[in-house]
Chains A and B, each alone.
Chain A
Amino acid sequence: MGFFDLNIPYHESDRHVTDKSSLKSRRLKLALKAMELGYTGIAYNRTLKGIISESDRCAIPLFPLSSILKLAPSSSYFSAAVKFHRDLLNVSVSTAFRQYTRLTLIVDSAAPVLKSSNGILKSYDIVAVRPVNQNAFDQACKTSEVDIIAIDFSEKLPFRLKQSMVKAAIKRGVYFEITYSSFIMEAQARREMISNCKLLVDWTRGKNLIFSSASPSVTELRGPYDVANLFSLLGLSKEGAKAAISRNCRSILANALSKKHFYKEAIKVEEIPSHGQINSEPSPFDDWLKWDPISSGDGDLLLDDMEKSFSASRNVAKTVKTIDFTSSMNGVPAHGLQIKDIISVTKVAPEPPDNGKCLSVAKETEAAIADNEMPVEQGGVNPLPEEQDSLNAVVRKQGKLNPFPEESQTSLEDDRNIYQVPNCEKSKILLDPLPQEQGELISLPEDGQISLNDVTNKYQVSGYEDSEMSDLPTNIGTSNYFTDFDELDTVSIEKLRNSGKLDGNSVRIELSDSQLSSCVPSCRTSVLPDGSLSFNSTSFSDRPYSVQLSASLNDICFPANIEESNVENSVDLVVSAQEGIVVNTVQNKIEREKEKEPILASPDISSQNGHMEREQLKERIGTSISSGDGLAIEEYINPIVNENSAAKYVPMVDGLISEKKQIKPVTSYRLLDKSQAGRGRAKRRATYKPFSFPFKGLLNPKPFKRKALKSKSLITM
């Protein structure tokens, strides 16, 4: 998680300024100091009063890399210092140091309501408002479309803070800013600040609160942890204080930049350049982005290529959190490119943006998850969630791919160790095949259509099996396994949904259960010529399963769930998506089973009947699923599981229904059938003959009533 200081004063454009160059050098020093102390982003704040005119459009020059090199007597010292501090703060060394522009408007009640559509305001990344009287404050809290409300607490407040106003502002997503430089500088200011801020801090509890320096010179700047501790004096909790300089700032930036670049709720669809095209299209991406951060000193430390690629790509980082197509794996180093490559490569003809969209969905969840967990990383490898940009970079400049393996190979061992613990198992898998696979990947697009076998073979050859496959059997029994399938399917379905039709390109998707460090099923999906998606798992290499889904899976509900998820709930949503699937599955099954009721009615569903049913299902699958039942994948897995008698799959299926209960295979098949029928029975008790099965009570929304039946079921089994 990066640290931000969103208030570095910018006075060079002020009207009566005389000594611009000294101001500029001061600002530069501040920027450098902030970078040295471990901050990952700063915003230059320009303060304006009164009416905004055209001349006030953003003209803040951001410092390019060259200025650093000029100033620092030894850039190697500087980058060593930056690296040192970032390691201490657990910030990725490869995170780019970003600069933003900010405007603070001093408003009194006479000023018109601020709208974000104001063109001049739009030229700044962040817009803040400083109310000077009660009306202005009320207006700012209730209606103004600004990012931050910055109140000058170091003097006696000319108005009162009201809790209702504060609450209204928080609800709207406006942040309150408290600056600490006056705290440090003057004793009187300290007094006023503490008495004024205490109220605000108590009411907000750190939510929607940010800290920033507003420091006139380098001596007032403090490191992130120091600032957090300082504000704990105000009664804020440690976590809240820490969040106020990192997470909250980051969300402001994400919101602000997305507002800046996109119109209302439009989303940006980015075409993922295919492998061959990457080198020829760097410019469209650069055009989109208005702010131009310098590359961090660390950028210099790492390979120069990486730094160059940073400068092109890191622009994307903040803006496209939710729409980041370029790479779906947060926490995955350059190797993460692999997946992206594969997918973009194999989907040359059909719509890449959609492809990316689904990837972004997966990425979002993982980013969220990874974000929450804050995995540790090694220098030189850029796995953190914020490193979407580096991955973008990697994608965009595929020509530069080659440096990466050298860089990363040295740290591969370490990375393997690191990735033992954290969330993105994916990354682990990807780490291994990187060196060998590059050549293979590059050759993929030329094939056009890739048969499943080829994919399988290639990835086996590339040692994909080595890393995580051995882990697979141990974790299979858990419902986590099922989660992986779900995620897989989420992604694939999302893709299908977006792309509509797929023409015979095969796609390989790797997923991992990033929140639960379970094994990763190496599921591969390939799109068969008839437009259905087949999904094979090679985890059981002796018997590859295939699931076929028709292309018209447009109505599957759970991708939508995931898209809407916010950071913290992403994990829950994946899980709940599963449950949603269960419900849907069951309900749909029930509808179908209505017709087949006589078969199912008997208490003992013989496997034969089960087979019949499954065959029927399979037929249905084969033809099409046109009813838009929202059928989920478990249904299809059913026949497969049955056919292959894979005990290992059973827990997965069961996990879906009974939530982590381990059941014997035979029992479980019956369970599945019965359970699905049983669900229907929950709805239409009158029509169906009641037959029981174990664990029905768990399925049933009213467990208490079913207890009697449960005991009966045990006997029949």
Chain B
Amino acid sequence: MHQSDFYKDKSTSSSPNLEGMVGFKNRYMVMEVFLDPSKDLGVDEPVIITQFNLSKAIKDSILTNFGECGLASSLNSFQVKYVNPITKVCIIRASRDEYQKVWAAITMVRSIANCPVVFNLLDLSGSIKACKNAALKCDELKFEQYKLLAGARFTPDSQLHMQNCLDKIKLLEH
């Protein structure tokens, strides 16, 4: 895991293949979402998270807390790159200048579609490569936990779905 990245600033971003992308310096945050934490564990999910509703919720939060300008300056690089609805792991990209604000705004997100949520940062990295590694690890570990929790409700579909998600991670680019 790249915990050491947390409080170190990366000086350059790595983008060996694509031209014109070296100017963008980003931070990739791997986060997990807890849906309705006050409900007992193991109950069926109240809402399914997707890239769209996550993105909307976060943007709303930025707008509320940092205003129009805050939203505008972070909107450039802000993107929810990946979401795994089974394990609730997501990857969010933000620019290096604004990532703290975006991260704070994410922390302050209280609900997604009327379901209370809690975000928790798992990993912060400066390159997509490091982020992919971290996300793969987190995803796999969380999937193990999900299996323990789901017990009887676990289906081979989930396994397939999971595999697709993992492949998606591997294909991620800036």
A interface list, Cβ under 8 A from B: 26, 29, 33, 37, 72-74, 76-77, 80-81, 84-85, 87-90, 183-185, 187, 190, 217-219, 221-223, 225-227, 229-230, 232-233, 238-239, 242
Contacts and interface: CB of A to CB of B under 8 A. Distances in A.
Interface stretch (B49-57, B75-83, B114-122, B154-162): B114-122
Given A33-B37, A190-B65, A218-B38, A242 B120 contact: no
Nearest to B65: A190
17 contacts: A29-B37, A76-B148, A77-B41, A77-B145, A80-B145, A84-B138, A184-B107, A184-B110, A222-B107, A222-B118, A223-B120, A226-B121, A229-B100, A229-B103, A229-B121, A230-B108, A233-B101
The 3 A-B residue pairs whose C-beta atoms are closest, nearest first, are A77-B148, A223-B120, A218-B37
B100 A233 contact: yes
A76 B42 CA distance: 13
A227 B103 CA distance: 10
A494 to B, nearest CB: 36
Contacts of A226: 103, 107, 119-121
Question: Taking chain A's interface residues, is the majority helix, strand, or loop, or is none over half, making it mixed?
Answer: helix
A681 to B, nearest CB: 51
Interface of B: 1, 3, 6-7, 37-38, 40-42, 64-65, 100-101, 103-104, 107-108, 110, 116-123, 138, 141-142, 144-145, 148-149, 151
B64 A187 contact: yes
A229 B104 contact: yes
A229 B107 contact: yes
A232 B116 CA distance: 24
Given A73-B149, A74-B149, A84-B142, A230 B104 contact: yes
Task: Name which of B64, B104, B119 has the most chain A CB atoms within 10 A of its CB.
Answer: B104
A332 to B, nearest CB: 23
B145 A88 contact: no
Contacts of B145: 77, 80-81, 84
Contacts of B64: 187
A601 B56 CA distance: 87
B107 A88 contact: no
A215 to B, nearest CB: 10
Contacts of B142: 84
Contacts of A72: 41
B134 to A, nearest CB: 9
A77 B145 CA distance: 5
A218 to B, nearest CB: 4
A563 to B, nearest CB: 33
A447 to B, nearest CB: 48
Given A88-B123, A187-B64, A227-B107, 6 more contacts: A84-B138, A218-B118, A219-B37, A219-B117, A230-B108, A233-B104
A88 B122 contact: yes
Nearest to B111: A219
Contacts of B110: 184-185, 219
Contacts of B141: 80, 84
B112 to A, nearest CB: 12
Contacts of B148: 74, 76-77, 80
B108 A183 contact: yes
Nearest to A77: B148
Contact of B151 (A26, A74, A184, A232): A74
Contacts of A84: 138, 141-142, 145
B107 A230 contact: yes
Most B CB atoms within 10 A — which of A29, A85, A90, A223? A223
Given A73-B42, A217-B38, A226-B121, A88 B151 contact: no
**Best-surrounded residue of B116, B118, B144 (most CB of chain A within 10 A):** B118
A661 to B, nearest CB: 36
A304 to B, nearest CB: 19
A80 B144 contact: yes
Contact of B116 (A90, A219, A223, A225): A219
A549 to B, nearest CB: 44
A221 B103 CA distance: 16
Contacts of A221: 37, 118
A229 B151 CA distance: 36
A190 B119 CA distance: 19
Contacts of A89: 3
A298 to B, nearest CB: 14
Contacts of A185: 110
A33 B120 CA distance: 12
Contacts of B104: 229-230, 232-233
A72 B151 CA distance: 13
B42 A225 contact: no
Contacts of A26: 38
Contacts of A190: 65
Contacts of B1: 87-88
B95 to A, nearest CB: 16
Contacts of B144: 80
A72 B116 CA distance: 20
Contact of A77 (B40, B116, B149): B149
A88 B7 contact: no
A701 to B, nearest CB: 41
A223 B121 contact: yes
A85 B122 CA distance: 8
Nearest to A33: B37
Given A33-B37, A37-B120, A77-B148, A225 B6 contact: yes
A234 to B, nearest CB: 10
B41 A73 contact: yes
A289 B55 CA distance: 50
Given A222-B118, A229-B100, A90 B37 contact: no
